[in-house]
A and B are shown apart, each in its own frame.
Chain A
Amino acid sequence: EAQVTQNPRYLITVTGKKLTVTCSQNMNHEYMSWYRQDPGLGLRQIYYSMNVEVTDKGDVPEGYKVSRKEKRNFPLILESPSPNQTSLYFCASRNGQGIFNEQFFGPGTRLTVL
């Protein structure tokens, strides 16, 4: 089944404790992206990657890092999480051949930083 998977789905952590949220897709998509969703603010892009070893900042990149060493994986790294990074996070991917190709979203990771 074509899908985007994220792990973990739920995470409660404390301020300053480094964490990684993994994202993997099995559709051989070139483009991958991370969004966060907050009440009243909607979905906002954090980082995106057009292909392996190519990443760029989205609208809200502060406090986050990403890497794209393999085509299928796009982990989101929070080196020193803070409470304002408590949010619902979504990973997405699409075929890079056409910008209008639909984006496939993962199921989400709910992160709470205490």
Chain B
Amino acid sequence: DAKTTQPNSMESNEEEPVHLPCNHSTISGTDYIHWYRQLPSQGPEYVIHGLTSNVNNRMASLAIAEDRKSSTLILHRATLRDAAVYYCILRDVYQGAQKLVFGQGTRLTINP
């Protein structure tokens, strides 16, 4: 399975943009990039996913490098509620049906 690498932790300030990086240099052509986050004392929740093009939704934006070896989750205006562990996950379109494989993720701290 293709692996992802994320920084262990990041810190930002409230109301500022946050860019969370993810490296996936061994990504295959059939791997989708998914992001989930886990707020303190809660289960993970879906954030966004994409294949090649940049994606936007109400929670965040996903910027995918042209060679797809890296991606960045962008929180446009962080709030205290965005403090969480963020997971970057690759899902193969043919083999990814059964589960999500979570790495260690990035622990994001938001300062007031």
Chain A residues with a Cβ under 8 A of chain B: 4, 33, 42-45, 48, 56, 58-59, 90, 92, 99-100, 102-108
CB pairs A–B below 8 angstroms (8 shown): A4-B43, A42-B104, A42-B105, A92-B44, A99-B96, A100-B32, A105-B43, A108-B43
Q: Which residues of B contact A100 (CB under 8 A)?
A: 32, 34, 49, 91
Chain B residues with a Cβ under 8 A of chain A: 32, 34, 36, 41-46, 49, 91, 93, 96-100, 102-105
Q: Which residues of B contact A56 (CB under 8 A)?
A: 98
Task: Give the contacting residue for B102; candidates A4, A42, A104, A107; CB below 8 A.
Answer: A42
- Main SS of the interface on chain B? loop
Q: Which residues of A contact B96 (CB under 8 A)?
A: 99
Task: Give the contacting residue for B43; candidates A42, A48, A90; CB below 8 A.
Answer: A90
Tell me whether A99 and B97 are in contact (CB under 8 A). yes
Tell me whether A102 and B46 are in contact (CB under 8 A). yes
Query: In whole angstroms, what is the CA distance A106 to B104 when docked?
Result: 20
Tell me whether A45 and B99 are in contact (CB under 8 A). yes
Task: Give the contacting residue for B100; candidates A43, A106, A107, A108; CB below 8 A.
Answer: A43
